[in-house]
């Protein structure tokens, strides 16, 4: 059988094209112009970077959420452009590489329209995991993870039944403060926190990797994507970021996926899933050159945000949405210099204490919880 992949190019709507994932995706497209055609590109406000991409790729649709498009460009403007791009008639796949809960509506719109969503925007699943997965089932769309750990789990699970899975083990690099004394971490500067040892990413996820909020978001993401209960999802620190995650099966076999730390491979796999295509640009893994692989437990006491997030996931309802929104606001304040690193978990804990019990069954309730949590953190910034 000749697959669709070998016959005609796939139209991709790339949301967040100017970011770290967005630009990695465009490098993947550039190596496979016969297979991937970006039909829509969107950015938030980096007009110059977007204009350069538009000149190269000439997409049918261009959107900016909060910037001013060049005069006469024909670009679309405002938050609605994400949904318009996500439901563009020429797009078979939507690669959602927006950062934060701002990406949620576009994911839902794409799934309602029956599209495949290659999802980097993990906040989508943290805010409204149940709603998103139900929308995918109802609309005939599909959610395929871009996150490297979830791409690894998806690859390890290929062909296996859910009742054969005993445990997911998600790896974490440990971030820049893995070896710092606990007392020193709360005084870390923005520069310290942005200095990630193995990955070059956007600033929000880099701070999330330093607090380990990112790993909490990923545990929640894995729970929704793979339907595995929280008590069967574990986190282990692996500083080299070569093993992207493990799956343990009920017979005791453990399967892992490995590769050098580059997002181009999980992006490519999300686009071609369930197939694979040859790609000579993805950096290759050499086990001898890579040397030894090291694993250690997470220092939960040093990184309280991890436990806050996982507990919010277990609690369910509005709690994960509150965790996510409070984290987004706290990280933005830390980057602006109005919160210390140590205050990030404090403000998240405060928001969860005040708001986690709110109802969170419907999309409206979840969005209200998100907005309340943002107000909660913002109103305490001057305290």
Q: Which residues bind ligand NDP (CB under 6 A)?
A: 16-22, 43-46, 65, 82, 97-99, 102, 120-123, 147, 199, 201-202, 204-205, 263
Residue 302: which of ligand NDP, Mg ion, none does it interact with, CB under 5 to 8 A by kind?
Answer: none
Q: How many residues bind Mg ion (CB under 5 A)?
A: 3
Pairing of strands 36-43, 61-64: parallel
- The number of angstroms, rounded, from the C-alpha of 231 to the middle of its chain's C-alpha atoms is 22
DSSP 3-state helix, strand, coil percentages of the chain (rounded to 5)?
50, 15, 35
| Interaction of residue 221 with Mg ion, rule CB under 5 A | no
Residue matched to tokens 């899975």:
165
3-state secondary structure of 23: helix
Residue 263: which of Mg ion, ligand NDP, none does it interact with, CB under 5 to 8 A by kind?
Answer: ligand NDP
Q: Residue 142 pairs with which residues in a beta bridge?
A: 116
CA distances, 120 to each of 172, 250, 319, 379 (Å):
17, 29, 21, 30
Q: What token pair was written down for 310?
A: 């996982």
Point out the residue whose Cβ comes nearest to ligand NDP: 19
**Minimum CB distance to ligand NDP, residue 199 (Å):** 5
Q: By C-beta, is 80 or 349 nearer to ligand NDP?
A: 80
**Minimum CB distance to ligand NDP, residue 205 (Å):** 4
Residue 328: which of Mg ion, ligand NDP, none does it interact with, CB under 5 to 8 A by kind?
Answer: none
**Minimum CB distance to Mg ion, residue 148 (Å):** 5
**Minimum CB distance to ligand NDP, residue 240 (Å):** 16
Q: Residue 304, Cβ neighbours under 10 Å: how many?
A: 18
Dist CA 5 CA 187 (whole Å): 50
Dist CA 227 CA 204 (whole Å): 27
Residue 43: which of Mg ion, ligand NDP, none does it interact with, CB under 5 to 8 A by kind?
Answer: ligand NDP
Point out the residue whose Cβ comes nearest to Mg ion: 147
Pick from 50, 76, 94, 147: which binds Mg ion (CB under 5 A)? 147
Closest by CA position to 169, among listed 311, 284, 295: 295
**Minimum CB distance to ligand NDP, residue 111 (Å):** 17
**Minimum CB distance to ligand NDP, residue 233 (Å):** 17
Q: Enumerate binding residues for Mg ion (CB under 5 A).
A: 147-149
């Amino acid at each position: 059988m000749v697959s669709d992949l070998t016959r005609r190019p796939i139209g991709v709507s790339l949301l967040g094209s100017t970011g770290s994932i967005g630009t990695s995706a465009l490098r993947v497209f550039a190596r496979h112009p016969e297979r991937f055609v970006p039909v829509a590109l969107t950015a938030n406000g980096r007009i110059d970077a977007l204009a350069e991409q538009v000149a190269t790729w000439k997409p049918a649709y261009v959107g900016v959420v909060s910037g001013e498009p060049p005069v006469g460009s024909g670009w679309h403007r405002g938050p609605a452009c994400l949904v318009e791009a996500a439901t563009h008639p020429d797009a078979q796949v939507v690669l959602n590489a927006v950062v934060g809960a701002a990406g949620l509506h576009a994911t839902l719109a794409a799934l309602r329209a029956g599209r495949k969503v290659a999802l980097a925007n993990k906040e989508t699943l943290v805010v409204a995991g149940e709603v998103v997965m139900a929308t995918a089932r109802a609309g005939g769309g599909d959610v395929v993870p871009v996150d490297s750990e979830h791409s690894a789990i998806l690859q390890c699970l290929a062909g296996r039944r859910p009742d054969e899975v005993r445990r997911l083990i998600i790896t974490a690099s440990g971030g820049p403060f893995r070896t710092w004394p606990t007392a020193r971490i709360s005084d870390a500067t923005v520069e310290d926190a942005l200095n990630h040892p193995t990955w070059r990413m956007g600033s929000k996820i880099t701070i999330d990797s330093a607090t380990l909020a990112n790993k909490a978001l990923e545990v929640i993401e894995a729970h929704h994507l793979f339907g595995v209960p929280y008590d069967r999802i574990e986190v282990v620190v692996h500083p080299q970021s070569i093993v992207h995650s493990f799956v343990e099966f009920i017979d005791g076999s453990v399967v892992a996926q490995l590769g050098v730390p580059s997002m181009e491979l999980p992006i490519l796999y999300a686009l071609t899933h369930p197939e694979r295509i040859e790609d000579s640009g993805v950096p290759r893994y050499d086990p001898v050159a890579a040397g030894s692989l090291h694993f250690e437990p997470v220092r939960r006491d040093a990184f309280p945000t991890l436990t806050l997030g996982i507990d919010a996931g277990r609690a369910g309802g509005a709690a994960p949405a509150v965790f996510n929104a409070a984290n987004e606001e706290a990280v933005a304040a830390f980057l602006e210099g109005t919160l210390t690193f140590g205050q990030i978990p404090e403000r998240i804990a405060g928001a969860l204490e005040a708001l986690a019990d709110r109802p969170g069954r419907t999309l409206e309730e979840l969005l209200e919880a998100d907005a309340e949590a943002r107000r909660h953190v913002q109103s305490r910034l001057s305290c």
